Amino acid sequence: MPISNYIIFCLTLFTIGIIGVLVRRNAIIVFMCIELMLNAVNLLLVAFSKMHNGVAYLSDKSSIVGAEAQVFVFFIMVVAAAEVSVGLAIIVMMYRNTHSVDINFLNRLKN
């Protein structure tokens, strides 16, 4: 599969995530769109790692060139779990205080 197919597919997903962050005002949907963008980047990293591995695979079938990228993706997923747990806790507390998840409430941080 040409790598440009993967790049364009991941760019499409990433752009949909950006549009979601711009357009929606529900904080939970905005957060979900950020997860979507993270996933698009993860898939692109894996595709690039397989691209580099494919070159090395021709000469050495047990080559581990590109395995670092997949470890990076693993770390991204794991850190995303920690980020989501704290972020959702913040959204829940925001809802407790303002009874809304509209992100436009957040620009009045003062009182």
Partner 1 sequence: MNLIQIIFWFLSSFAVISAIMVLVSKSPVHSVLWLIAVFFAISGHYILLNAQFLAIVNLIVYAGAIMVLFLFVIMMMNLNKDTDPQKNIWIKLAGAVSGGCLLMVLVSLVKQATEINGKEAMLGKGDIGLIGTLGKVLFTDFVVPFEISSVLFLSAMVGAVVIGKKDSKLENN
Partner 2 sequence: MHSLLNINSSTAINYLPIAIQLIFVIGFIGTMLALSAITGPKRKTKDKLETFASGIEHHGDARSPMAVKYFLIAILFVLFDVEVIFFYPYAVNFRTFAADPTMAWKTFMAVLMFVGFFVIGFVYVIKKGALKWED
Binding residues for partner 2 (CB under 8 A)? 78, 81-82, 84-85, 88-89, 92, 96
- Compare residues 96 and 110 and give the one whose CB is closer to partner 2: 96
Rule CB under 8 A: say whether 107 interacts with partner 1: no
Cβ neighbours of residue 27 closer than 8 Å, sequence gap 6 or more: 91, 94, 101, 102, 103, 106
Closest approach of partner 2 to the CB of residue 89, in Å: 6
The rounded distance, in Å, linking the Cα atoms of 78 and 76 is 5
Q: How many residues bind partner 1 (CB under 8 A)?
A: 76
23 or 78: whose CB is closer to partner 2?
Answer: 78
The structure tokens 């997949």 sit at 70
11-50 positions binding partner 1, by CB under 8 A:
11-13, 15-20, 22-26, 28-29, 31-33, 35-36, 39, 42-43, 46-50
**What residue 64 binds from partner 2, partner 1, none (CB within 5 to 8 A, per partner kind)?**
partner 1
Shortest CB 107 distance to partner 2, Å:
25
Phi, psi for residue 108 in degrees, rounded to 5: -110, 70
Place of tokens 């963008």: 37
CA distance 104 to 27: 9
What are the two backbone dihedrals, phi and then psi, of residue 102, each rounded to the nearest 5 degrees? -70, 125
